[in-house]
Amino acid sequence: MKFLHTMLRVGNLQRSIDFYTQVLGMQLLRQSENPEYKYSLAFLGFDGGNPGQAEIELTYNWGTESYDHGNAYGHIALGVPDAYTACEKIKAAGGNVTREAGPVKGGSTVIAFVTDPDGYKIELIQAKSTIYEDGRQSDATGEKFDPLRSV
């Protein structure tokens, strides 16, 4: 088996595409319309999506502007090299950071949370790498990196 995608129902497809591409840095991989059944789909991901990485499928059911998430949905998780810088970049792009970067309670893994325009939570999990005194990290080569690029 292979993990392919996670589907989220959204109230405004273009607003969500803008968030995932402009704020989180994903690529719009493909998009389709189904007039007969009145829905639109957009698939987004990093590095070309499948087969290398899972994708997010945004589904817009025409005429439905919001959904009740219920109490079962938790979050989507993205790996980032530097959660602190990722939060700065997300805020600068107009994104909503709902938990600033910092160690998880009771542990040392650095995480942060962002909320998309439909209220879905996205956890940013900082990759293990070189840790400096100020808490920031670099990759194993010491090279600069895009803090939102999936690891």
For the annotated catalytic residues, the residue numbers are 123
Distances (CA, A) of 13 to 10, 43, 60, 73, 88: 6, 11, 6, 20, 25
Alpha helices in 40-143 (DSSP H): 83-92
Q: What are the Cα distances from residue 106, in Å, to 79, 109, 129?
A: 20, 9, 20
User: What amino acid is encoded at 56 in this protein?
Assistant: I
Residue 110's φ and ψ, nearest 5 degrees, are -90, 125
